[in-house]
Amino acid sequence: MLSLFLSACSGEPELSTASPEARRFYEEGVRFLSQFYYNEALASFDSALVQDSSFAMAWGRLASLNFEIGNEAKARTLIEKAMQLAPATSGREGLYIRFWNHLIKFENEQAWEAADSLLRLYPEETEPYVMKGRLFEQTSLLDSAIHCYKHAAVLDTGYTRAVMHLGYAYSTAGDQEQAIEYMQRYIRLSPDLADPRASYADLLLRVGRYDEALEQYEASLELKPDYWYSFSQIGYIYSILGRLREAEEQMLKGLTYLPGSERMNASRLTIAANMDMSRGLYDKAAERFLMALKDDSTSYEAAYGLVLALAKQGKFDAAMETSTRIEEELSRRNLTETQVMVGFHLMKARVLTEQQLYEEARVACELALEHASPLSRTSVFRQLAEISTRNGDYDRAFLECEESLAINNNSPSTLLTLTRLYRKKGDGDMTRSIGVRLQTLWKDADPDFRDLKELKDLLRTTPA
C-alpha cells in the first residue's frame, strides 16, 4: 500500500495557496515524499500549514502520510480538514483530496472513480497514472499496472516514481530481467538518493542474492545514514540467514528513524515476537503478539503471528478464532479481493497443516493462488510441498518444490522442505547435498535458530 498514498510527483501546476512560502514548503515536502524521507516530509508539510492553515493539499498530503506510518486516527482527522477546505480549491486538487479520503476510509471503488476522473480530466499529468497503477497491482492486474507506469514514464522520462514501480511490477510478474533494468535506471536518475539503491536491493533479495542485496542496502546507508527502510531490510535478511540477534537490532534501529506513530510500540513487540518464533519459543511469541495487538488491534503482522504461534502450541480453537477476527477486519477494509488474501489463506493453510488436515490445507492454498502473483505463488507452493511431504505424496511434493524455487532457488524455507522430503524418501546423498547448501547460507546463524537445529538433526539421522 506504501506508494498508493505516497506517489508524489516533483511539482504541481495548480495549488490553492496565496503564500509563496507555504507553496515552497509544500513542494519541499512532496520532494521528500518521493524520496521516502518521512521525517523531513512531515516537517515540511507542517511548515507549509504554519504559513497557510487553509492550504487544502498540504492537509491532504499530511493525512495520507500519517495513515501510512500508522497514525490512522490522526489521518482521519487531517483528511476531514482537507475535505472541508477542498471546495475552495481547484477541481484537480479536490480530486486528489477525494482520492486520499477514500483510501483512508477503505472506500476502494470510490478511490478508483477519483483516479479515473483525474486521468480523464488531466491526461498529461503523471501522478494519477501511478495512483491507478497501484490500484491495479493491489488487485493483481499486473499488465494493466505496468501499462499505467509506462505511460507515466513516457510523459515524463525523469519521473522516478514510475520507473521504480515498473521495476517492482516486473519483478512481481516474474520478469526479473526487465525489473533489474528499470531499477538500475532508477539509480541512474537519482544516484545521490538512498531509495534507488534500497529498491534495487529488494529485487536482489527476492531472487535470493542475499550478499549482493546487503551490499546495496549498505550503499544506500552511505548516502543517507538514517534511512529507516534499509535498516529494516538488512534485519529481514539477517532473519532469513538465522542471525536473529543482529536481525532484531537492525529492525529496531530502523524504527528509531521513523516518525513516532500509534503503532510504534506494537511494531517493537512484533519484531521481538517474530524472533521468538524463529527460536521456537511459541508461548513467549504468543504473549508478545497479544501485547502488540493490545497496542494496535489493526496490526496484521501481529495477528498473523499470533495465529501461527497458537497453532504451533496446539491451541487450534484459539488460532481459528483469531483467524476469523482477521477476516472480519479484512472485510471491513474492503481487502478481500486483493493480494492481501494470499497471506491470509496461506496463514490458514499453515494452521490446517499443523492440525494434519491436509486436504483442507490444500484448499486454503488453492484459494491463496487465486489472488497470487507469480512472485507470491512461490510461498504458496512451498506450503503445498510441505503438505504433500507430510501426506506422503513425494512426487507431487518435488514438483511443488520446483515451482517454489522458480524465482528464488536460494530460498532457505523451501530448501529445508526439500531436505525433509529427500530424508523421507531415503535419499541420503541428496539430503546431505541440500543440507550443505543450507549450512552455507546459515554459516553465521545463531545456535538457537530453530531451522538450523532441525537441519542438524536431519543430517545427523541421515544414514550414510
- Annotate 352-394 with DSSP letters as a single string: HHHTT-HHHHHHHHHHHHHH--TTTHHHHHHHHHHHHHHTT-H
Question: Range with the lowest mean pLDDT among 137-141, 156-160, 369-373, 419-423?
Answer: 137-141
Instruction: For residues 63 and 102, give the distance between their C-alpha atoms in angstroms, rounded to a whole number.
Output: 12
Mean pLDDT of 43-62: 97
pLDDT grade, residue 158 (50/70/90)? very high
Distance CA 284, CA 450 (A): 14
Instruction: Mention the CATH class of domain 191-262.
Output: mainly alpha
User: Are 50 and 62 contacting, i.e. CB atoms less than 8 angstroms apart?
Assistant: no
Closest CA to 364 of 352, 354, 375: 352
- Does the structure show a pLDDT above 80 at 5? no
Split at pLDDT 50, 70, 90, the class of 13 is low
Among residues 150, 223, 215, 253, the alpha carbon closest in space to that of 200 is found at 215
Select the CATH number that applies to the domain covering 263-336 from these four: 3.40.50.970, 1.25.40.10, 3.30.1490.390, 1.20.1740.10.
1.25.40.10
Q: What mean pLDDT value characterizes the chain?
A: 94
Concatenated DSSP letters of 71-100: -HHHHHHHHHHHHHHGGGS-HHHHHHHHHH
Query: Which long-range contacts does 109-113 make (Cβ < 8 Å, 24+ apart)?
Result: 111/135
**Residue 9 φ/ψ, nearest 5 degrees:** -95, 175
CB atoms within 10 A of CB 252: 16
pLDDT score of 68: 87
Q: Where are the domains of the chain?
A: 2-190, 191-262, 263-336
- Residue 103 exposed, middle or buried by CB count within 10 Å (0-12, 13-18, 19+): buried
Mean pLDDT for 345-350 is 97
Cα 283 versus chain centre, distance = 26
pLDDT at 10 over 60: no
Q: Cβ distance 301 to 265 under 8 Å?
A: no
Show the CA angle centred on residue 365, arms to residues 362 and 371, nearest 5°.
155
Query: With contact defined as beta carbons under 8 Å apart, do 86 and 98 qualify?
Result: yes
* H helices present in 105-141, as ranges: 108-121, 127-138
**Going by CATH, does the domain composed of 2-190 fall within 1.25.40.10?**
yes
How far is it, in rounded angstroms, from Cα 198 to Cα 204?
Answer: 10
* Cβ neighbour number for residue 276 with a 10 Å cutoff: 22
Q: In this model, does residue 256 exceed pLDDT 70?
A: yes
Q: In the structure grid, which three cell numbers stand for residue 249, read together?
A: 537490532
437 and 234 in contact (C-beta within 8 Å)? no
- Cell numbers standing for residue 426: 531415503
Q: Cell numbers for 231, please give them.
A: 535498516
CA–CA gap between residue 334 and residue 238 (Å, rounded): 34
Nearest to 163 by CA among 206, 138, 193: 193
What is the mean pLDDT of the segment spanning 4-20? 64
C-alpha 53/C-alpha 64 separation (Å) is 17
